[in-house]
Amino acid sequence: MSTTTSIPEKLSTADVKEITARHTYGTWRKQKGWSPLHVVDAEDCHFVDGAGKRYLDFSSQLMCVTLGHKNRAVIQAIQDQAEKLAFVGPGFATEIRAELAKALLEVLPKGLDKFFFTTSGTEANEAAFKIARMVTGKTKIISRYRSYHGSTMGSIAATGDPRRWAMEPAGKVQGVIFAPEVNCYKCPIGHTYPGCGIACAEYIEHMIVNESDVAAVILEPVVGTNGVLIPPMEYMPRLRKICDAHGVLLIADEVMTGWCRTGKWFAMDHWDVAPDILTTAKGITNAAIPLGLCATTEKIASYFDEHFFSHGHTYEAHPLTLAPAVASINEMKRLKLNDRANEMGAYLGGKLRALQAGHPSIGEVRGIGLFWAVELVKNRETKAPFNVGADKVAGRPLLVDKVSARMMGNGVFLQSWMSHFVFAPPLIVAREDIDHGVAVFDEALSLADAEVEK
Ligand SMILES: Cc1ncc(COP(=O)(O)O)c(C=O)c1O
């Protein structure tokens, strides 16, 4: 690292990487060996590294840059708001707060009409848990194993995947219990759809009855990072009925599935089921500024007319965070992103499915809208994955990382987790980019095929 000046005018790529890895944390990993790529620019569906190499962003970073990088309207909105009113505390009314509230009323599932703004999806879920507990007077939250709901003490407690383990038992709030997820490819309770009668939903009723004191059920309507798991049509309406029958709130975590990703404004729209609370973040501002949202029904809101709303942040409804949300919603409408997600999603899905015949390592290809997963298995009969959560936490090399690294070498960035990949390019993606990304994936899969059990 250069030591000629204490504040170098321009850091070299080597300096940037070195300082970043030495003095800042890499998330969800052992720190040793972390050597992050230096990114200098990003536009539309691509980003550029310090050496000038261009990469196709096949996962919209963390499934969040829905409109593509550097959307001009979003940038303009941030600039204008910074000039007009960058910050005022949450106790004041602002034009942009009212504007966003009006815009949200148009696109959110009907019935959600009072909003709490946060600066992340994690905080949106924290707000949801506190609200659910205050309103119902009950404590327990039911979540599901294959899930991620955030990193703080409440949201990590509700996270089913191995990111929770390091916080067990003391570093998380009490009262969260786990139900089996819906996964018709590999049912956690050994059933087969449709003969199962949606046993995974019925089991949640069994839990509610036997646990008592259940305030809410939280779920990702389509599970995101943990594998784009799509419930059968009957699941969500049944769960809604179960929650209603027992006075339990239904929280839809749409941090990843919101904002046209699945071909509807929100994934819950696929089943016409309205949650009591909906949380979201990521695509709400095209990820250009951190913003989260916790949206509640009038019934929940009215509880707080006469009860103390015991929650808040300095940055709640921060004007600078709200302006890009209004711009993003307008852009999503202008670009007809739901139609685009459906059209391009069908194209991407078709191409991914076509790979299955030639790659014995592909267990399943599944998706909805422009949100797809390819699950790798070392044995198609047993559906055994190449790696599991314990491998990830132990820092053992994952086969999906090997495949991703090969793809990065060939200029395509694709998110992976345990033993699957999540395909979620910006919704403006062109067919040629999909063709290119899938071709690079096709080539890299030879690494997985070579590891399949003979
Ligand atoms: C479904 C879901 N919920 C919550 C979160 C947490 O959001 P954030 O990282 O903005 O805190 C994420 C993040 O990936 C997510 O995918």
pLDDT tens per residue across all 454 residues of the chain: 444 556 557 899 999 999 999 999 999 999 999 999 999 999 999 999 999 999 999 999 999 999 999 999 999 999 999 999 999 999 999 999 999 999 999 999 999 999 999 999 999 999 999 999 999 999 999 999 999 999 999 999 999 999 999 999 988 999 999 999 999 999 999 999 999 999 999 999 999 999 999 999 999 999 999 999 999 999 999 999 999 999 999 999 999 999 999 999 999 999 999 999 999 999 999 999 999 999 999 999 999 999 999 999 999 999 999 999 999 999 999 999 999 999 999 999 999 999 999 999 999 999 999 999 999 999 999 999 999 999 999 999 999 999 999 999 999 999 999 999 999 999 999 999 999 999 999 999 999 999 999 8
Q: Which of 64, 129, 148, 223 to mutate to test the pocket of ligand 1 (most atoms within 8 A of CB)?
A: 148
Q: What is the identity of the amino acid at 224? A: G
Tokens of 47: 């980003």
Which ligand 1 atom sits nearest the alpha carbon of residue 121?
7
Tokens of 233: 């049509």
Measured in whole angstroms, how far is the alpha carbon of residue 274 from the centre of its chain?
19
Torsion of CA 51, 57, 59, 65, to 10 degrees: 100
Beta pairing class for 214-219 and 412-413 = unpaired
Neighbouring C-beta atoms of residue 353, cutoff 10 Å: 16
Q: How far is the CA of 224 from the centre of ligand 1 (A)?
A: 9
Q: Is 362:403 a contact under the CB 8 Å cutoff?
A: no
- Give the C-alpha separation, 277 to 221, whole Å: 12
User: Which residue minimizes the CA distance to atom 3 of ligand 1?
Assistant: 149
User: Which residue minimizes the CA distance to atom 7 of ligand 1?
Assistant: 121
Q: How far is the CA of 36 from the centre of ligand 1 (A)?
A: 21
Q: Which of 65, 117, 122, 218 to mutate to test the pocket of ligand 1 (most atoms within 8 A of CB)?
A: 122
Which ligand 1 atom sits nearest the alpha carbon of residue 147?
1
User: Which residue minimizes the CA distance to atom 16 of ligand 1?
Assistant: 256
Tokens of 318: 């921060």
- Give the C-alpha separation, 384 to 370, whole Å: 26
- Ligand 1 neighbours, Cβ below 6 Å, are 62, 120-122, 125, 148-150, 220, 224-225, 253, 255-256, 281
At residue 310, the 3 state secondary structure works out as coil
Which ligand 1 atom sits nearest the alpha carbon of residue 120?
10
Beta pairing class for 420-423 and 140-144 = unpaired
User: Which residue minimizes the CA distance to atom 8 of ligand 1?
Assistant: 121
